[in-house]
Amino acid sequence: MNGKMTLILFSGDLDKALAAFTLATTAASAGMEVTIFFTFWGLNIIKKKRYSQVKGQNPLQRMFNLMSTSKLPISKLNMLGLGPAMMNIAMKKVGMTQLRDLKDLARTLRVKYIACSTSCGFFGLKQEDLVPEVDEFAGASSYLAKAMESKINLFI
Amino acid sequence: MNGKMTLILFSGDLDKALAAFTLATTAASAGMEVTIFFTFWGLNIIKKKRYSQVKGQNPLQRMFNLMSTSKLPISKLNMLGLGPAMMNIAMKKVGMTQLRDLKDLARTLRVKYIACSTSCGFFGLKQEDLVPEVDEFAGASSYLAKAMESKINLFI
Amino acid sequence: MNGKMTLILFSGDLDKALAAFTLATTAASAGMEVTIFFTFWGLNIIKKKRYSQVKGQNPLQRMFNLMSTSKLPISKLNMLGLGPAMMNIAMKKVGMTQLRDLKDLARTLRVKYIACSTSCGFFGLKQEDLVPEVDEFAGASSYLAKAMESKINLFI
């Protein structure tokens, strides 16, 4: 399939991240050029597991930074973390691809990652706090330029 | 109006379902070709009221299956189910079309329903568990093919 | 940048409103024609601070009307209102533009506001209850006409 797609990944929920990466990898497998713009809570998905705790962070930044990339909440039935655990079990049982594997596949298929620089500033995240696969640190205007060339643009 | 629209209905909230079906029926009334791709919690909207409980379901599948199609939560002010009840009263009072009626209208206007096969597998749903109006069980690639031909694509 | 963009602002959360207005003002600064369609909880963002309390409102309408435009919740880590307060502090600290200022900028850049007439009816809102910047009270068909001419359409 010829054409481009952009996804704004605003949410940091496991279920929405799964939806985004399933769309991204399916499109990229079919030959489309895919860009994911990670903003706000979505940045949690591309945070390194351990990263430099900086002094002088405000409470919201500290809380965001305590959110674990490997234990994302889900948008319904979260039940204090029990939901995501059950979700992972259910996914394994039916042989559904885990987020970790979808992320690996996305990189192999050269899905482009843009980390929203404004949100990074807001959460006190630096380039070294994010996974090395991030292609670009940029703002909304970079996203818009990509979206203008794309057939499919979604906000997740 | 000539042209196509696709909606991904990821959410199972009453308010978001109302937004999706209002857009879908308005567009279809104006002559547009509309496809709704039901995925994740959105599948709850096209579940049959009673369906075959299968043995061996995991806890998440059982919880999802206990969610009632006729009592969807709302995304704000849900208040343990009080919000949706108040919402239905408010809708009746101002003569707003109920979701049930919008769904009937959508079928009359030949809005196309695709049930995400990956999510169905995840929740342990079979074809006979969903309303007969579902046109197709398919994955993300079917959605992408439709979206590539459409002027408007939204993720709800 | 030449072209049009529409945003459906369904959410009344501060973080999503910030995302919407950042996209809208960035696009409008670059020369794009931007329309925001405020529906459901998103109407809270364009409500006047004080407006005419009408008799005969149902409980949901009263609760919606008690929601304060100047104290929007956030979609994650809301923590009974502590989250948004921390968010505002964090935004000031890093010099990020506040929603109030983004809204002013949006008007200067002539971002078009449509208030969903169906949702206004549902919440018992009249034209005089909304900020004077609203250009149009209209339903889904007005939105669809705009979206059909636009390169980028997002549901937030």
Q: What is the 3-state secondary structure (H, E, C) of B101-129?
A: HHHHHHHHCCCEEEEEHHHHHHHCCCHHH
Range A21-45 average pLDDT:
97
Task: Say whether pLDDT at A74 is over 90.
Answer: no
Q: Taking the domain A4-155, which CATH number applies?
A: 3.40.1260.10
pLDDT of residue B105: 96
CA distance C143 to B23: 9
Count contacts between A and C (CB, < 8 Å).
69
**DSSP secondary structure code for residue A95 in this structure:** T
Amino acid letter, B64: F
Whether the CB-CB separation of A82 and A103 falls below 8 Å is answered with: no
Beta strands A4-9 and B33-38 are unpaired
CA torsion, ordered B67, B70, B74, B77, to nearest 10 deg: -100
User: Any CB–CB contact under 8 A between B91 and chain C?
Assistant: yes
Nearest to A22 by CA among A7, A2, A43, A11: A7
Range C137-143 average pLDDT:
97
CA torsion, ordered C2, B155, A143, B149, to nearest 10 deg: -50
Task: Say whether pLDDT at B15 is over 80.
Answer: yes
Disruptive mutation site among B78, B88, B93, B156 for chain C (greatest number of C CBs within 10 Å) = B93
Range C44-71 average pLDDT:
73
Q: Which helix (H) or strand (E) holds A83?
A: helix A82-93
User: Any CB–CB contact under 8 A between A145 and chain C?
Assistant: yes
CA distance A70 to C12: 29
User: Residues A106-136: pLDDT tens digits?
Assistant: 999 999 999 999 999 888 888 899 999 999 9
Select the residue of B19, B90, B93 nearest C10 (Cβ to Cβ): B19
User: Residues C76-120: pLDDT tens digits?
Assistant: 777 667 778 778 877 887 788 889 999 999 999 999 999 999 999
Q: Which helix (H) or strand (E) holds A29?
A: helix A14-29
In the block, tokens 């900086």 appear at A54
Select the residue of A3, A15, A152 nearest B40 (Cβ to Cβ): A15
Select the residue of C19, C30, C86 nearest A141 (Cβ to Cβ): C30
Average pLDDT, chain B: 88
Confidence at B96, pLDDT banded by 50, 70, 90: confident
pLDDT of residue A54: 60
pLDDT of residue B139: 96
Enumerate neighbours of A (3 or more CB pairs within 8 A): B, C
pLDDT of residue A113: 98
Q: How far is CA B51 from CA B43, B121, C1, C148, in A?
A: 13, 15, 52, 39
* Tokens standing for residue A107: 């990189």
Rounded to 5°, angle at Cα A47 from A42 and A53: 125
pLDDT of residue B45: 94
Superfamily (CATH) of domain C4-69+99-155: DsrEFH-like (3.40.1260.10)
Q: What percent of chain A has pLDDT over 70?
A: 94
Whether the CB-CB separation of B152 and B41 falls below 8 Å is answered with: no
pLDDT of residue C67: 73
User: Residues A86-108: pLDDT tens digits?
Assistant: 788 778 877 888 899 999 999 99
Range A15-27 average pLDDT:
97
User: Residues C6-57: pLDDT tens digits?
Assistant: 999 999 999 999 999 999 999 999 999 999 999 999 999 999 876 555 666 7
Q: How far is CA C6 from the centre of its chain?
A: 13
Domain boundaries, given as residue ranges, for chain B: 4-70+98-155
User: Residues B102-127: pLDDT tens digits?
Assistant: 999 999 999 999 999 999 988 888 88
For B67-74, which contacts have Cβ atoms below 8 Å and span 24 or more sequence positions?
B67/B12, B69/B44, B69/B45, B72/B12, B72/B13, B72/B14, B72/B17, B72/B44, B72/B45, B72/B99, B73/B12, B73/B13, B73/B14, B74/B13, B74/B14, B74/B15
Disruptive mutation site among C144, C151, C156 for chain B (greatest number of B CBs within 10 Å) = C144
What CATH topology corresponds to B4-70+98-155? Hypothetical Protein Ychn; Chain: A, (3.40.1260)
Nearest to C112 by CA among C61, C75, C64, C149: C149
Nearest to C138 by CA among C20, C47, C39: C39
Disruptive mutation site among C5, C32, C93 for chain A (greatest number of A CBs within 10 Å) = C93
Comparison of pLDDT for B126 and B67, the residue scoring more: B126
